[in-house]
Amino acid sequence: MELDFYDNSFQFWRRNSSIQLSSILDPFALSSELHLYGDFTDPNPLFHILLKEIYRNKENLSIECNSKTNKDKLKVNFWKIKCPRCGEEFPYKRKKPLRCPKCNNIIDNVDFKTWNNNLEKFLYGEISIKELFDSPVTPTSENYEKLRDVFLDPDIPKTKINFKNGFDSIYKLFSPNQLLVISDIIKQIRERKEEEIPIYSLALLDFVTYNSMFSRFNEGIIFSLFSSKEPTTEEWVELTQSYFCISLKRVLKSIKEKRNESPKIIASHPFTLDTKVLYNIELFFYEWVKRPLSYSNGYTLIPRLFKDYIFSYIDKECESFYEKDFEFSSNIGNLDKAIFYLDELDFNSLVYLISLKDFHISKIETEKNLFKIELIKGRKGIKPLWEIYTKIKKENDGIYLNVLSLTLREFTKYEKILGISNDPPTILNYAFKILSEIVNGGKSTKVIS
């Protein structure tokens, strides 16, 4: 079976690749491709220093990898549902209504949560393999008993993550064979020269997004775990180690394409700027990347590379240590102007933009099927709500996007608005209330998408 990876390395977010800017600062460097066209920050300090180190040595980077595929070992997997009425097992498909092919019973609730709860109990030795596979939904994956034997290996991340349907730990996003392959790759990366480990670790992040139960498979093409806003699972493939070579070559190629220019503006066009979603994805990457950057004694990770970004030390000799909690701080840098490109103006993205207290929204317009939001540094003064309302009503032209732009500009220009609570969600709700009244005569309106 010949498989292709859909998208380029680092392109975990974008639907639309038509916007490419040469002088940009990308505040979400690890989860987009934009840092190839300028400079970057990142919500997590480890990623910032990791990318900085890799790009510093990009001209000297080389790889050794055998990309010959093991076609006979690839398997397409899927979920099986057990009909609660007749007991028939059949493949899960994301469609409604979902009917049992034997008794025509409609399955309203596909119970992934029970599977995930039972999986956790099984891996910690609380239930048997038979009890695990008595769950109402089960995968066709194999080797769960083998996974249980090595489950305490620190290279298998148990960190909690906020996915739906009980997929609340990182390891639950992967089949046993996928976890075993990934953990073996981690051990091999540790054996490489120290100067090579950062680029191999970055390639690991690319690989794990294509070798997950949430990496959709369709007609020989594998889609990244983060190729959609809300990852879903249907069919997936368990990749062999040789496919890691594809990720390694793709990442190295992308790194060497980076342009060296000074950043002038900020640009980002992911699905959303929702900080909860961004946190979830960055946490996922952080938990994987810190493993090949560290040693392991089979029970815990031990400091090695970038250790100050991964561990805290109790003593001066650094012999007593513990792993740091994941850090996330979205800082867009010391610039006077910022521009964001978004696929849609969802509520949480707008909340994020309003929460950037050093900036106000100056303009919203469309460009190449994307929304372009321009922000200017500075908020000044205090303004009563009624004066803002009067000004918007007087200056509006009745065109929805123009009125939205005007409304958000007026609601973010000032340090404080009298008459309302000045937290971002409240400000945005009042802005949409006024927008609705002006454009739709008081009827409810939706965020643009």
Q: In this predicted model, what pLDDT tens digit does every residue of 60-71 receive, in sequence order?
A: 877 777 655 555
* Residue 66 confidence (pLDDT): 65
Among 18-27, 142-151, 221-230, 404-413, the range scoring the smallest mean pLDDT is 18-27
* Residue 56 confidence (pLDDT): 86
Query: Cα separation of 200 and 55, whole Å?
Result: 13
Greater pLDDT, 72 or 94: 94
* pLDDT surpasses 80 at 117: yes
The share of the chain scoring above pLDDT 90, in percent, equals 59
* pLDDT surpasses 70 at 14: no
Angle between the 400-412 and 347-355 helix axes, to the nearest 10 degrees? 30
Strand pairing class (321-323; 337-342): unpaired
* Residue 171 confidence (pLDDT): 98
Mean pLDDT of the chain: 88
34 inside domain:
no
* pLDDT surpasses 70 at 10: no
- 446 pLDDT band (50/70/90 cuts)? low
* Residue 228 confidence (pLDDT): 77
395 inside domain:
yes
Greater pLDDT, 124 or 313: 124
- 178 pLDDT band (50/70/90 cuts)? very high
* pLDDT surpasses 60 at 326: yes
* Residue 317 confidence (pLDDT): 67
How many other C-beta atoms lie within 10 A of the C-beta of residue 160? 11
Count H helices and E strands in the chain, helices first: 12, 19
172 inside domain:
no
* Residue 201 confidence (pLDDT): 95
pTM higher than 0.75 for the full model? Answer: yes
Greater pLDDT, 361 or 335: 361
Q: In this predicted model, what pLDDT tens digit does every residue of 17-36 receive, in sequence order?
A: 667 777 888 888 887 777 77
* Residue 15 confidence (pLDDT): 59
- 335 pLDDT band (50/70/90 cuts)? confident
- Helix, strand, or coil (residue 105): coil
* pLDDT surpasses 90 at 270: no
Query: Cα separation of 123 and 144, whole Å?
Result: 8
Q: How many residues does the chain have?
A: 449
* pLDDT surpasses 70 at 128: yes
80 inside domain:
no
* Residue 229 confidence (pLDDT): 73
176 inside domain:
no
399 inside domain:
yes
Q: Average pLDDT of 398-403?
A: 91
Classify residue 363 as left (phi > 0), alpha (psi -120 to 50) or beta: beta
Among 70-74, 94-98, 191-195, 326-330, the range scoring the smallest mean pLDDT is 70-74
How many other C-beta atoms lie within 10 A of the C-beta of residue 311? 18
Query: Cα separation of 348 and 320, whole Å?
Result: 41
* Tokens standing for residue 44: 């997590």
Nearest of 411, 390, 263 to residue 339 by alpha carbon: 263
CA angle 117, 147, 123 (to 5 degrees): 30
* pLDDT surpasses 80 at 333: no
Compute φ and ψ for 142, nearest 5 degrees: -120, 175
- 398 pLDDT band (50/70/90 cuts)? confident
Domain count, the chain: 1
- Helix, strand, or coil (residue 322): strand
CA-based torsion, 142, 145, 151, 153: positive or negative:
negative
Query: Cα separation of 200 and 42, whole Å?
Result: 19
Q: Average pLDDT of 44-48?
A: 93
Strand pairing class (217-218; 24-26): unpaired
148 inside domain:
no
Looking at residue 307, what DSSP letter applies? G
374 inside domain:
yes
- 277 pLDDT band (50/70/90 cuts)? confident
Query: Cα separation of 18 and 369, whole Å?
Result: 9
* pLDDT surpasses 60 at 449: no
**Helix H or strand E encompassing 279:** helix 275-289
CA-based torsion, 184, 186, 187, 189: positive or negative:
positive
Query: Cα separation of 115 and 46, whole Å?
Result: 34
- DSSP-H helix ranges across 290-366: 347-355
- 325 pLDDT band (50/70/90 cuts)? very high
* Residue 414 confidence (pLDDT): 95
Do 88 and 100 contact (CB within 8 A), yes or no? yes
- 80 pLDDT band (50/70/90 cuts)? very high
* Residue 6 confidence (pLDDT): 83
Domain containing residue 369: 337-440
Q: In this predicted model, what pLDDT tens digit does every residue of 369-396 receive, in sequence order?
A: 889 999 999 999 999 999 999 999 999 9
* Tokens standing for residue 102: 């034997």
